[in-house]
Amino acid sequence: MTIRELLEYHGVLINPFSEEDAQNDTIFKASCINTSFHSAWDKIYGNPAEPSTSIVFGERGSGKTALRFQIIQKVLEYNSDHPDSGVLVIDYSDLNPFIDRFRQRFPNGRKIQKVFARWELRDHLDAILSLGVTQLIDRILDAGRQSHPAAIDTKPLPTQNLNKFQVRDLLLLSSCYDTSRNETPLTRWIRLSKLLRYSTWVSRVKDAWEFGVGVICSVVFASLWYKFSGGFGFVLNQWFYCVAILFWAPFLHKMSTRFLKAWSIKHSLRVLPHLKSDLLKILVRLKKVDFNGMPFPVDRGTDHRYQMLEKLLDIGSTLGLKGLIVIVDRIDEPHWVNGSPELMKLIVWSILDNKLLKHEKVGLKLLLPDQLLPYMERENNEFLQRARIDKQNLVRSLEWTGESLFDLLNSRIAACAADGKSPKITDFFSPAIDRNRLINAFTKLRVPRHLFKFLYTLFTQHVHSYSETEPVWQISETTFETALALYIRNRDAAEKNLGII
């Protein structure tokens, strides 16, 4: 006897319990994403028209990743209904690239705890700006060719609506934060500048003129020196170079200031993969009036980053993206973190700043492991004043009741049912196991992941107990109780070993 035979007997075509992670759960993505919501959904999601911050703590398997997909799906629907006032969604769930680049800034022998202790709010802002700017430029240059969260572009964004200052700001953001690897940074920046009709020929002609003046004047000066001094003695004469360098002063001044700016940007953006040569080639193309006084992120503070964020929001608003939602998830998964609560705390705590969490038109959805909640509850007043947790939409535990898990199961089973069939979870059990007994058992399992694991194990154990010639289509009370007790014992032992309980 097989699980497939058992399921098909009850009118179910696909195993509803085979996937434990929403990341790979095709049943959830195809159907349950629009039907199965946690009871705290409204508080977490809020209103896309006025993005707000939510901080959610949940144990492993409680549905944090499912929440991320549901938020993206609902914002996609909102953007479809509001094409001129949509929301830009940044999926900040893969921290590995940013952490890897940050780690490379420090000696290999330094302990990872000391490295992460240097992670700051500016690093989060740089990562968020990088994801947002790269997505926006993708959607301008290659609409519909690349997949981005909640994006509905079938044609390029209306860049013709941008004024000259917004064009300048977008090119400024691109020079610092566009990290696309589909083409070289210079090629992509030039393509963007041409589409935005930002003329660089004046700057290029001026560079050529200043370079030419330097060459011609130096040659003429050397010739005169040779003629009147009677030889090549000028080659070793320091006064010759002091005078000759004056001819190169305008060109050298521009190149040195742009080089120093490129060097400063590269060393300040600790989580991004910039090369000085790429930055320099882009910066020399900016007009002097656009280069001077711009808030390049070249220091350790956050003021210039917030100015960059304001520019991104202003440009997005003109392009029909009136708000920004940043979803932070899978904070325990980067290989340098490896599930360590202490390391997660070092990364997450810096983003808990009320200035960012309550930023106008910005909503952060922080989906965090419940292991961090005790750390937050032990924090001092200084942290609480900075984070103002009391002003955020805080969900202390992504709990599931037995009834909600019961409804979730029936929803999944219905999504996997054959046409014309309406099976229920109770159909798979003998009459001795009624609805109330199932709900009590599901309460002990706590979260969807443990529920699915248990049911898969239970169904496997049942079908292995009977042959195809003498099948039994309902699970007995003995099998159910034995499997439940064993699963809970093994789960608790595993969590104790991991330090979760």
Per-residue tens of pLDDT for the chain, all 501 residues? 899 999 999 999 988 888 877 888 888 888 888 888 999 999 999 999 999 999 999 998 898 999 999 999 999 999 999 988 999 999 999 999 999 999 999 988 889 999 999 999 999 999 999 999 999 999 999 877 778 898 887 777 889 999 999 999 999 999 999 998 888 999 999 999 999 998 876 666 676 767 677 777 777 766 666 566 655 555 555 655 666 666 666 777 788 888 999 999 999 999 999 888 889 989 988 888 888 888 999 988 899 999 999 999 999 999 999 999 999 999 999 999 988 999 999 999 999 999 999 999 999 999 999 999 999 988 888 888 888 888 888 999 999 999 999 999 999 999 999 888 889 999 999 999 999 999 999 999 999 999 999 999 999 999 998 888 888 999 999 999 999 999 999 988 888 876 665
Note whether 81 and 184 are same-domain residues. yes
Sequence-separated (6 or more) residues with CB below 8 Å from residue 349: 383
Residues in the chain: 501
Distance CA(243)–CA(318), nearest Å, equals 51
Q: Which of 395, 425, 445 marks a domain boundary?
A: 395
Sequence-separated (6 or more) residues with CB below 8 Å from residue 86: 78, 79, 150, 152, 320, 321, 322
Q: Which of 395, 412, 428 marks a domain boundary?
A: 395
Question: Which pLDDT score is estimated for 498?
Answer: 67
Note whether 276 and 418 are same-domain residues. no
Q: In what order do the strands lie in the sheet with 86-92?
A: 86-92, 321-328, 362-369, 54-58, 393-395
Distance CA(181)–CA(198), nearest Å, equals 23
Note whether 479 and 414 are same-domain residues. yes
In-domain check, residue 20: no
Q: In the beta sheet, which residues pair with residue 323?
A: 87
Note whether 223 and 76 are same-domain residues. no
Q: Which residue has the tokens 């360098």?
A: 245
Distance CA(78)–CA(73), nearest Å, equals 9
Which parts of 388-466 fold into alpha helices (H)?
402-415, 435-445, 448-463
Q: How far apart are the first and last CA of the chain?
A: 38
Question: Which pLDDT score is estimated for 251?
Answer: 73
Note whether 321 and 255 are same-domain residues. no
Note whether 173 and 305 are same-domain residues. yes
Q: Is the dihedral of CA 346, 350, 354, 356 positive or negative?
A: negative
Q: Token digits for 442?
A: 């599901």
Distance CA(483)–CA(469), nearest Å, equals 24
For residue 295, the SS3 value is coil
In-domain check, residue 105: yes
Distance CA(293)–CA(227), nearest Å, equals 46
Q: Are 315 and 169 in contact (CB under 8 A)?
A: yes
Q: Residue 134 corresponds to which amino acid?
A: T
In-domain check, residue 33: no
DSSP 202-259: HHHHHHHHHHHHHHHHHHHHHHHHHHHHTSSGGGG-HHHHHHHHHHHHHHHHHHHHHH
Question: Which pLDDT score is estimated for 448?
Answer: 92
Question: Which pLDDT score is estimated for 210?
Answer: 72
Note whether 70 and 175 are same-domain residues. yes
For β-strands 86-92 and 54-58, DSSP reports them as unpaired
Note whether 422 and 407 are same-domain residues. yes
DSSP 183-204: S-HHHHHHHHHHHTT---HHHH
Q: What CATH number did the domain enclosing 304 receive?
A: 3.40.50
Question: Which pLDDT score is estimated for 195?
Answer: 92
Q: What residue numbers bound the domain in which 105 lies?
A: 47-190+300-395
Note whether 151 and 68 are same-domain residues. yes
Question: Which pLDDT score is estimated for 128?
Answer: 97
In-domain check, residue 478: yes
In-domain check, residue 35: no
Note whether 255 and 389 are same-domain residues. no
Note whether 277 and 311 are same-domain residues. no
Determine the longest span between alpha carbons in the chain, in angstroms.
116
Sequence-separated (6 or more) residues with CB below 8 Å from residue 343: 112, 113, 116, 336, 337
Query: How many domains does the chain divide into?
Result: 3
In-domain check, residue 489: yes
Question: Which pLDDT score is estimated for 460?
Answer: 92
Q: Which of 346, 374, 395 marks a domain boundary?
A: 395
CA-nearest of 165, 157, 149, 180 to 73 is 149
Note whether 384 and 411 are same-domain residues. no
In-domain check, residue 481: yes
CA-nearest of 362, 320, 366, 367 to 51 is 362
In-domain check, residue 206: yes
